Amino acid sequence: MGAVFVTGATGTVGSAVVEHLLRHGEKVVAGVRNESDRDRLPSHVETRAFAFTAKRPSATLFAGADRLFLMRPPAIADVRTFLFPLIDAAREAGLRQIVFLSLQGVQANRRTPHHAVETYLRDQSAPYTLLRPNFFMQNLSTTYAAQIRDRGEITVPAGRSRTAFIDARDIGRVAAAVFTQPGHLRRAYTLSGEQSLSYRDVAHIMTEVLGRPITYTRPSEDAYLAALAAQGYPDDYLAVQKMIYRVVRLNVSAFPNRAIRELTGRPATSFARFVHDHRATWTPPPGSSTSPEN
């Protein structure tokens, strides 16, 4: 059996995919853009120079691999130019499965790049498996980490909506399962956590686990976007944020499911477990005004 070629192997989801494939005893080839990325991967993972924006890839890129984990980097919107050729090369190389990291609800949102990729995979009769995850818990430990750490606040315009957050580590477990078990070709899986939480619930759980008050400030959309603009974020980023949280306020992401449990045999990670595992991310440095001893 060949290896799994993993794109985005050093990222939040890709690193989890690599970890769980290795736990399954699979060989992994990681496509890396920079030489320094090699140091961020386990020593027994083969690395291969790869960039989505490089010239059209050839089938030789996948030498020794028979499966592909494909994700879209956030900076790439033109999937026709940068992702479709990679799919073509994978088909030319005879890969037997392409697992694509898509987006929850993408089938009803034709304007997203993910919808275009899903459509292309179908139109080309590619051997796809589609993973459509809900909002990542890791958004709170990356994008919103500083405001939680420094001010004890979660500031997003989500209103009273609820979200069935998913731990990106669970996506890695699911990807490893669908790569190593039969029956997943041409299937699409919506992946949510098993808890539907409001952001007030999120703040309460973080308060309990971290041992200091975390509050959900519930800003208006206008106030949130104005704050981002004042920080220098470009208009296209503001437009994406506006779209994301309007969808959130419609409670599209509110519904939990048991897909992770059914696909992997283990329940989805609880939000309290996630906060416990990442608590250092939100711990203020000693002596700061928000550190527990002050």
Average pLDDT over residues 137-160: 96
Q: Could you give the CA distance from residue 151 to residue 290 in angstroms, rounded to a whole number?
A: 7
Identical fold at 3-133 and 135-166+193-254+267-286?
no
Residues contacting 189, CB < 8 A, separation 6+: 129, 130, 131, 132, 174, 178, 259, 263
Q: How far from the centroid of its chain's Cα atoms is residue 162's Cα?
A: 19
**Average pLDDT value for residue range 214-241:** 92
Helix pair 235-249, 221-230: axis angle to 10 deg: 160
Confidence grade of residue 289 (pLDDT, cut at 50, 70, 90): low
CB–CB of 128/98 below 8 Å? Answer: yes
CB 238 within 8 A of CB 228: yes
Residue 76: phi and psi, rounded to 5, are -105, 110
Pick the CATH number of 135-166+193-254+267-286 from 3.90.25.10, 3.30.413.10, 3.40.50.261, 3.30.70.2190: 3.90.25.10
Average pLDDT, the chain: 93
Contact 106, 112 (CB under 8 A): yes
Domain positions in the chain are 3-133, 135-166+193-254+267-286
Q: Distances from the Cα of 29 to the Cαs of 23, 45, 63, 208, in angstroms?
A: 15, 6, 10, 41
Classify 52 as helix, strand or coil: coil
Alpha carbon distance 195, 208 (integer Å):
17
Residue 31 contacts residue 3 (beta carbons within 8 Å): no
Query: Given pLDDT bands bounded at 50, 70 and 90, which one contains residue 241?
Result: confident
pLDDT at residue 294 tops 80? no
**DSSP 8-state secondary structure symbol assigned to residue 166:** B
Name the DSSP letter for residue 289.
T
Please give the residue that has the higher pLDDT: either 292 or 45: 45
Residue 56 has pLDDT above 90, yes or no: no
Which residues, 6 or more positions from 284, have their beta carbon under 8 angstroms from its beta carbon?
149, 150, 290, 291
Give residue 214's identity as a one-letter amino acid code: I
Average pLDDT of the residues in 106-127: 91
**Taking the complete model, does pTM exceed 0.75, yes or no?**
yes
Q: Quick one: pLDDT at residue 235?
A: 86
Answer whether residue 24 shows pLDDT above 90: yes
**Long-range contacts of 77-83, Cβ-Cβ distance < 8 Å, separation of 24 or more:** 77/113, 78/113, 79/113, 79/116, 79/117, 79/120, 80/116, 82/52, 82/53, 83/52, 83/113, 83/117, 83/120
Write down the pLDDT at residue 25.
97
CATH ID of 3-133, from 3.40.50.720, 3.40.50.1980, 3.65.10.10, 3.40.50.410 = 3.40.50.720
pLDDT band, residue 187 (cuts 50/70/90)? very high
